[in-house]
């Protein structure tokens, strides 16, 4: 690279604006190996403290998008729009597993490029890795074939899709630079732009389990993403949704897949999870001109669930990507189960008044369900189920949750962590969907 990476880092450290050429050179160095992981960490920290202008964000996003292949779906002759949604991450957020197949059942095509867990949040890929045989890193030909045939494919970044972001993403996770609006914006949109989308809906979380815990910060991130995406020619709307408590009643990997299967088959649908999923799906259908209004979109989404069409699309996607064809019929035969499963007693009787959702996510990480280093393995079996929600009454008969752990000692630590995260008192839960933001 013509500009020394340490000089680019120094300029950003000192609060100077970087040119498009400097940003492009730094990203090119990421791909070539001229920029080291230590320099990526220093750059990320400089951006965390100094920020980026809108022009820098657009340049950084474009550079990471074009660091690899940009997909083009026009040659497949798809009879519907190419759509996607992305969440900023939370605890018990398994929406993608139910959303993508339902949108596919409504006529959309969803090539969803997802990530692994970041910090205290769960990752969609870590959940899917708990399905035996499921290929979260297929080659581009298989990815395109599954999207065409099943209508949806949820995968990770292949080696040729936004490769620069893979490096930045992994470094952010372990250097306390996850919560940077410019870095989040570029990371999300580089993958989405590389996927060749026609429209995108963002799920920006707010509350104690969100990277942006305040509504003000969530609005800032939503506006950044909508602005950069629109500037890059990708129609995007954002919904700000609540993460003041786990979204599903399960938090972990295999346990969230099982929760999603229950949702798709109609065995159980957590009310707040259903509301957020319907709202996001309705926005996707409207942007894709598959529904005239959000109300029409909600009706179509509900129809996909009630008819079993969404479940059929999910089963087709799983099988096409190497997973078991009978996963929906026999989930217990395929999903890992933890050797220790026991109740988490409530520290006192009464109604749940507040939940430190970030602490719940960190408890799952401590169980082994997440990472503290990029190379750490993930225990797909561990986590929580039957999580009490804000306003629920807990007592000797109704515990805070069931903990799924690898050992009694791990279960003890997770029990203490969950008890500390939940407070008894008056509940003031946020509405599941708080605001809609357009560029």
Which of 87, 158, 180, 277 is an active site residue? 87
379 has catalytic annotation: no
Rg of the Cα atoms in the chain: 21
Q: How far apart are CA 244 and CA 246, in angstroms?
A: 7
Query: What gap in Å lies between CA 154 and CA 110, rounded to an integer?
Result: 8
Question: Around Cβ 326, how many Cβ atoms within 10 Å?
Answer: 13
d(CA 117, CA 91): 10
d(CA 75, CA 153): 18
289 is catalytic: no
Say which of 187, 190, 241, 357 is annotated catalytic: 187
Residue 356 among the catalytic residues: no
Query: Can you tell me the distance from the alpha carbon of 62 to that of 85, in angstroms, rounded to the nearest whole number?
Result: 19
Cα 347 from Cα 320, distance rounded (Å): 46
Among candidate residues 191, 298, 313, 380, the one labeled active-site is 191
Q: Active site includes 114? A: no
How distant, in Å, are the alpha carbons of 182, 187, 200 from that of 44?
10, 12, 26
Under a CB-based contact definition with an 8 Å cutoff, are residues 280 and 99 in contact?
Answer: yes
Active-site pick, 61, 67, 84, 334: 84
Question: What's the token pair of residue 431?
Answer: 């509405």
Q: Distance of CA 103 to CAs 78, 85, 96, 235, 305, Å?
A: 14, 10, 10, 17, 10
Number of helices followed by number of strands (H, E) in the chain? 17, 13
Cα gap 130→139, rounded to integer Å: 20
Residue 86 a catalytic site member: yes
- DSSP state letter for 75: G
Token pair of 60 as six digits: 């950084």
Residue closest to 238 by CA, chosen among 105, 430, 433, 107 = 433
Catalytic residue among 192, 219, 380, 404: 192
Helix %, strand %, coil % for the chain, to 5? 45, 15, 40
Helices 254-265/271-287 angle, 10° precision: 70
Query: Is 191 a residue of the active site?
Result: yes
Q: Give residue 95's region: left, alpha or beta (phi > 0; psi -120 to 50).
A: alpha
Does 192 participate in catalysis according to the annotation? yes
Q: Which residues are catalytic?
A: 84-87, 124, 172, 187, 191-192
């Amino acid at each position: 690279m013509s500009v020394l990476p340490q000089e680019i880092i120094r300029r950003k450290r000192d609060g100077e604006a970087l040119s498009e050429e400097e940003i492009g050179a730094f990203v090119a160095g990421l791909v070539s190996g001229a920029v080291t992981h230590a320099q990526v960490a220093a750059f990320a920290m400089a951006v965390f403290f100094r920020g980026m202008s809108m022009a820098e964000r657009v340049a950084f996003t474009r550079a990471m998008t074009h660091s690899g292949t940009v997909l083009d779906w026009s040659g497949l002759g798809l009879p519907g729009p190419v759509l996607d949604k992305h969440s900023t991450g939370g605890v018990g957020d398994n929406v993608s597993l139910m959303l993508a197949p339902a949108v596919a059942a409504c006529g959309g095509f969803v090539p969803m490029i997802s990530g692994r867990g970041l910090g205290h949040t769960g990752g969609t890929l870590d959940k899917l890795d708990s399905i035996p045989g499921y290929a979260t890193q297929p080659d581009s030909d298989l990815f395109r074939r599954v999207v065409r045939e099943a209508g949806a494919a949820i995968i990770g970044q292949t080696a040729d899709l936004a490769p620069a972001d893979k490096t930045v993403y992994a470094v952010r996770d372990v250097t306390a630079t996850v919560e940077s609006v410019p870095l989040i914006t570029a990371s999300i949109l580089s993958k989405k732009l590389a996927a060749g989308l026609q429209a995108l809906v963002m799920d920006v979380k707010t509350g104690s389990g969100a990277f942006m815990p305040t509504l003000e910060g969530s609005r800032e991130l939503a506006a950044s993403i909508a602005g950069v995406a629109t500037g890059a020619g990708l129609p995007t709307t954002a919904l700000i949704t609540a993460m003041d408590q786990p979204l599903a009643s399960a938090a972990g990997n295999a346990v969230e897949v099982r929760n999603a299967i229950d949702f798709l088959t109609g065995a159980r649908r957590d009310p707040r999870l259903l509301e957020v999923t319907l709202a996001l799906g309705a926005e996707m259908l409207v942007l894709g001109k598959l529904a005239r209004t959000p109300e029409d979109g909600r009706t179509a989404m509900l129809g996909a669930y009630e008819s079993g069409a969404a479940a059929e699309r999910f089963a087709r996607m799983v099988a096409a990507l190497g997973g078991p064809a009978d996963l929906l019929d026999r989930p217990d035969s395929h999903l890992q189960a933890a050797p220790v499963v026991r109740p988490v007693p409530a520290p006192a009787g009464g109604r749940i008044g507040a939940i430190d959702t970030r602490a719940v996510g960190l408890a799952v990480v401590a169980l082994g369900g997440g990472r503290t280093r990029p190379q750490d393995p993930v225990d797909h079996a561990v986590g929580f189920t039957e999580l009490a929600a804000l306003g629920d009454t807990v007592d000797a008969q109704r515990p805070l949750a069931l903990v799924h752990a690898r050992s009694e000692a791990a279960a003890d630590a997770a029990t203490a962590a969950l008890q500390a995260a939940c407070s008894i008192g008056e509940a003031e839960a946020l509405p599941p969907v708080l605001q809609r933001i357009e560029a």
